[in-house]
Amino acid sequence: MWGPFRESLIKTHLFYVEQARKRLLSQFDSIDADADRAADEWLERSAQYFDPDRDDPGGFYETTNDVAIEFYGLLSDMREQTRLSVVAGMFHEWDKQLRGWLVREIHYWHQGDKAASEVWKVDFDKIVDLLESLSWNIRNTDYFRTLNACRLVVNVYKHGKGNSLRDLWDNFPEYLDDSFKGYSRTWMDTKYRDHTHLKVSDDQFQAFSAAILAFWREVPENADKSQVTNVPDWFDRAILKDQAELQQTSKK
């Protein structure tokens, strides 16, 4: 990876995280005060209907407290959804940048569109297989584990209950609300869990961001042909198809 391009990717990522915190997540920094303000506004609007001869002041203020609690809960849910949305945007942008970079690098030494098309279509694990065929043992790194957790979180956030939820439960249960703490974590337990239990703390969001930065910094500057081991079958087939099409075209 060309040094200035690497720095550009890092700069763009840091800008995204900084602005997401500043323009989106910071809006939830004072939800306690916001809930109190909502309760005060309700009390002010409802005061005109209070009849001291008929209504119980205690009940009136109890309702005000309920309004504050409900407003706080709704804001808390919105905060979680907003953070998950930011995480999803961050991961998808990284994934697109990675695939786009791979396609551009492939076009430096290979003609044809089949290989490039496959890079855009295959799943995350197959992209990792391709990277590891370049002698980059990415699966042995801590940042890969965090990136994999991020991928599962984003899939659960996007699709709800499914295979990613089970994988997240089996491997990264810390991203699911631990309301069943103390119970054995089995597949049967997941029937009580769905995407609504998905939560990412601010520290976990920062860990995802740090993993993306670590990934870009670890991309090898060069990859010599001698370092290439057995490339994945899906990539090899796509290369051969491109070569076959090129040969047919040259014979015409």
Segments of the chain scoring below 70 in pLDDT: 47-60, 178-192, 250-252
pLDDT attached to residue 188: 44
pLDDT attached to residue 247: 83
pLDDT digits (tens, 9 = 90+) for 36-93: 999 888 877 876 666 566 656 666 678 888 999 999 999 999 999 999 999 999 999 9
Dist. CA 18–CA 16, nearest whole Å: 6
User: Which sequence spans correspond to the domains of the chain?
Assistant: 3-251
Question: What pTM was computed for the model?
Answer: 0.87
Q: DSSP string covering 130-187, please? A: HHHTTT--GGGSHHHHHHHHHHHHHHHHHH-SSHHHHHHHHH-GGGB--TTTTS---G
89: three-class secondary structure by DSSP: helix
